[in-house]
């Protein structure tokens, strides 16, 4: 009998803390359009996924500040859709309160500007 390799999970999302996820989304929106520079941030809420591959988080609130709401909303929708495929909300990040010096290992890094496509452009 031949041994077959174990089927790998198709959910390869990285685990990230709520604060880092909110910060990454905020920075991506601000960089998406010059009119979004005044964007203040988002509030991320944990949710129970309805299907196995659904995200375990959603946007609960948006703080637009003085940014253009329409442009920021379009950018936010695209960014959140992609980030929900890439990241899951961590249950608890080790060292988040007890050992702040260990937080560097859990940093969410976006090496390049987050790939955002304007809704009017072709993909």
Check residues 95 and 27 and name the one with the higher pLDDT.
27
Distance (Å, rounded) from C-alpha 77 to C-alpha 118?
Answer: 11
81 pLDDT exceeds 60? yes
**Contacts of range 5-13, beta carbons closer than 8 Å, 24 or more positions apart:** 10/53, 11/52, 11/53, 11/88, 13/55, 13/85, 13/86, 13/87, 13/88
Residue 63, beta-bridge partner list? 41
Check residues 105 and 15 and name the one with the higher pLDDT.
15
What ranges do the domains of the chain cover?
14-98
Q: Tens digits of per-residue pLDDT, 18-71?
A: 999 999 999 999 999 999 999 999 999 999 999 988 999 999 999 999 999 999
Band of residue 8 on the pLDDT scale cut at 50, 70, 90: very low
The answer to whether the beta carbons of residues 28 and 39 sit under 8 Å apart is no
11 pLDDT exceeds 60? yes
Residue 56: its pLDDT value, please?
Answer: 95
Band of residue 91 on the pLDDT scale cut at 50, 70, 90: confident
Least confident of 5-9, 12-16, 28-32, 99-103: 99-103
How many residues would you count in the chain?
123
Residue found under tokens 């909110």: 22
The answer to whether the beta carbons of residues 123 and 82 sit under 8 Å apart is no
Residue 35: its pLDDT value, please?
Answer: 96
């Amino acid at each position: 009998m031949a041994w077959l390799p174990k089927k790998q999970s198709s959910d390869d999302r990285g685990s990230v803390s709520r604060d880092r996820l909110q910060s990454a989304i905020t920075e991506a929106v601000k960089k998406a359009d010059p009119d979004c520079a005044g964007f203040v941030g988002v509030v991320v809420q944990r949710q129970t996924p309805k299907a196995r591959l659904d995200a375990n988080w959603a946007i609960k609130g948006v703080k637009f500040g003085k940014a253009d709401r329409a442009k920021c909303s379009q950018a936010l929708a695209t960014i959140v859709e992609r980030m929900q495929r890439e990241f899951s909300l961590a249950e608890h990040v080790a060292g988040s309160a007890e050992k702040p010096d260990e937080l560097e290992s859990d940093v969410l890094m976006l090496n390049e500007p987050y790939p955002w496509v304007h809704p009017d452009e072709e993909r």
